[in-house]
Amino acid sequence: MNVKNWDFSSFDGVKLKIHEMGEGRPVILLHGLFSNAQTNWIKFGHAQALADAGFRVIMPDLRAHGESEAPHDPAAYPADVLLRDIEALIAHLELTDFDLGGFSLGARTAAKLMATGTQPGKAILAGMGLAGLAGWARRRDFFFAAIDTRDSARRGDPHWMAIQFMKSQKIDPVAARLLLGTFSDMDPAEAASIETETLVLCGSEDRDNGDPEELAAILLNGHHVAIPGTHMSSVTKAEMSQEMVRFLVG
């Protein structure tokens, strides 16, 4: 496993850590909330599988995640800041022909990028349903509560698993709260305008972000594939990268 790691200064100077594997057609992969490229894409072999299939896999640690900077200045968190970060990265790399994928928060970000003009060849929205795009406020409030109770919640609390994951990933709670406030809901009509051929890839037991079949149906060129697992466990399954490779190569 040969991972190239480098720093990228985004549109406002905040430094993001970028991880790369492989050579060939570029594919940008965006990880989930409170995760990072290592946990989401590298640890369980997904990036390696794509690199072996002939792709240059580009995996940023999103702002306030992983090895990227997590500033406490509210000015570093304008609306939809993650879109601006990825648009800046695409421009920096001078990418014009590439694929795009994301899991959970990464999928929301990928969908919003496509709805606002980014045009990948193919796209993968993993761990995502229509409600996860259109009903963010409920999820945001859940994670706000997880941050606020991170030192007081006990096992059995509905926020317990999210809190333990945040702690395991060394998430900065101040930066995380600021970032959560930058996300906006996506009108289903915006999703319905996406023309890119898109794979909606979701664990068979995962409905954390709504119904993936509903999302695939509203897309102009969407396909749904179920793989084993829940929202948290599906990223550990070899089936995830197998389906990603099958879709992107096919």
> Mind listing the pLDDT tens digit for each residue in 53-75?
999 999 999 999 999 999 999 99
Provide mean pLDDT across the span 111-122. Answer: 97
Task: Out of 22-36, 112-126, 158-172, pick the least confident.
Answer: 158-172
Q: With respect to residue 152, please indicate whether it lies within any of the assigned structural domains.
A: no
Q: Mean per-residue pLDDT for 25-47?
A: 97
User: What is the overall mean pLDDT for the chain?
Assistant: 96
Per-residue model confidence (pLDDT) at position 236: 97
Q: Is residue 155 part of a domain?
A: no
Please report whether residue 87 resides in a domain.
yes
- Sorting pLDDT into bands at 50, 70 and 90, what band is 138? confident
Answer yes or no: is 158 within a domain. Answer: no
Q: Cα dist. 152→33, 145, 158, 159, 174 in Å?
A: 21, 11, 13, 11, 17
Q: 78 in a domain, yes or no?
A: yes
CA angle 48, 49, 54 (to 5 degrees): 95
**Residue 7: which pLDDT band, with cuts at 50, 70 and 90?**
very high
Please indicate, yes or no, if residue 178 is contained in any of the structural domains. no
Domain count for the chain: 1
User: What pLDDT is stored for residue 139 in this prediction?
Assistant: 82
Q: Tell me: pLDDT of 1 over 80.
A: no
Q: Is residue 181 part of a domain?
A: no
* pTM, 2 dp: 0.96
Q: Is residue 18, in this structure, part of any structural domain at all?
A: yes
Q: What is the pLDDT of residue 136?
A: 80
CATH number of the domain to which 224 belongs? 3.40.50.1820
How far, CA to CA in Å, does 197 sit from each of 100, 125, 194, 248, 250? 11, 11, 8, 10, 12
Would you say residue 204 has pLDDT above 80? yes
Instruction: Show the domain range for 120.
Output: 4-134+186-249
Distance (Å, whole) CA 86 – CA 104: 16
